[in-house]
Structure 1
Amino acid sequence: MQRQRNKRGYNEDFVDGHHLKLNDLKEEALRVGLEHGYLYKENIPAYPRPEFHVSHLNHDTNGSGCSAISRDNGFKNPLKDSLLWWSLVVGPDEITSAERRLLETTYPDRTEWQSQMQQSFLGKFATSQAFQKTSRLGSYRFTFPLEEVLQAYSDQFCSGAQPVMRVFKTILYKKEVVYAVLVHSPADQERFSHFPLLTDHPDSVCTYKDGCFIWRSQAMCKEHRYELVLRPDQKQIEAEEVRCQYYVWDNVAIALQVDEQVLKFDSNRLRENLKFCEKAEVTIARAYEFENYQQAQTHVADLWPDNPSPLEKAEEEPAKTEQKDNLNV
């Protein structure tokens, strides 16, 4: 495990070339004598480790970043770094489908009646920043289909070839674990050969398959207010309220190797995929990098004067499938 100060001035401890599950990460941290108040906590209430299938990516930024994206018709790293970072979009639909998979895996022989009686539970655990509509990086959020991003990257950086995906690193912060995936051109195979290829091994934390990133979350709770309870006799899974405890939470970050080039998109497409975000409770960007909704509306209207449509807010939306009192699967 190594330590560095990142471009935003925060210390980060990291392990290159591995996506370490929490127990392995804890062992590595203990091996190097790292002091950490949350990773070492014991007796955390049982919680789910679901498999999320993610088909969209977010790129959050501040006002100056939004201006640069509009000017360049695309994305680049403003810090003159070689990487362009995106995050996974895990919303109500992804949570619902992950809950279904978890139930089918845990109790594959449930009766129809048992399925009808199952109450929805996974959303009670999905409380970390990875599942929130708020932003830690600025008031502007661009959301694109994953396949659209990869196709644009293939066309502009890979001469039409398939991008290469590798296990980049595991990064540990005070309360957050980041599993970073590196995406690069086949022309850079030798340059990045020391990072293992991303595989579809069923035990991997993150993989890519059938147009989706598959994320097997290790710690999905911002705070642990519920305990996962299995009822084998009833073939049910429940969330039982407990005294709140804090632990680390995890997410996945996608790093596209762009050097100092721009990943370009049509200007109208950029505007269509832009929404306003409220500031998260805990942020990475400084307070002055966030704006209120009215300021953001004015700013976006200046950047896209030919598009008079109001700037939408990134608010919670209901899942496309109806999920009310119980989960019918």
Structure 2
Amino acid sequence: MAEGFASSAERAAFIAGLPKAELHLHIEGSLEPELMFALAQRNGVAIPFASVEAVRAAYDFSNLQDFLDIYYQGMGVLIAEQDFYELTAAYLARAHADNVRHVEIFFDPQGHTARGVAFETVLAGITRALDDAKAQHGISSKLILCFLRHLSEAEAEATLDEALPWLDRIDGVGLDSSEVGHPPSKFARVFARAKGLGLKIVAHAGEEGPPDYVHEALDLLKVDRIDHGNRSLEDAALVARLAAEGMTLTVCPLSNLKLCVVGDMAAHPLKAMLDAGLRATVNSDDPSYFGGYVNANYVAVADALDLSKADIVTLAHNSFAGSFLDDAEKAQHRAAIDAYA
């Protein structure tokens, strides 16, 4: 057992009480089967599953595309503002239970507007839940609009146009969906425009795509944070650069296992990232599909890699250091972690 813990149960209890931030969470990916069924019934939407159990049985993926196929099917039950409110509120309640103090949430407007759901409907429901969670639980938040990379840059530009009236509620833009064959360079112009609007920049890179995609995200998109970044470890010069620049990697252990990015949690690169001086963080990605919220991700990877108390505290510190909070807010959270530890 790693330094600082007498047992796995003791480590899990320490993780449960640790203040933390979550920086990589797709709100549509927190749609639990029970809520999917309830919304399908309320909205008269047919779904290809006979029961909650059948949905969970379908969550057996061999790669990212397998997951995305069912992810977009599930999204179809989200129609009214109240649906987006309930989806977001349910996630935030789970985050609060995991002692998450700050969240930076992705949403995929193109997955909704393409179905005839208004951008305003999506944003109003999500932001109302974020405001309520701040009032009820003290959870602060940032909202990141993601472009779907399997669609065109012109479609991303149109989505950014739709977002313009809401920029007081949107903190950044990101890039998600099918990675292989859709390099960051495909979106260089729309990201430059978003940066010019004062938005923070993040992008999924190096999950299934090669280290070159991480280079492109850094050099062409000028990202403030890399989402995933696992395959960066294949390029020693890239690792050195990420460490030197203090670039945050939003790592998602259970997602990596479920999507076969790693074959076994014991082979997960998180410890190697920490040992290389990378600012790695632990996040849940799409928790309803991948089997656990943020604490479950911490516990799974900490047990598999026998992480020490110091490693786990570092991960929590990294989660706030890599956030888009201001320096005073980050300092407050650092103090809370240190007081707890």
Same fold (TM over 0.5): no
The one of the two structures with greater contact order (alpha-carbon pairs below 8 A, sep at least 6) is: 1
The structure carrying a bigger helix percent of its residues is 2
TM-score after normalising by structure 1: 0.23
Rg larger in structure: 1
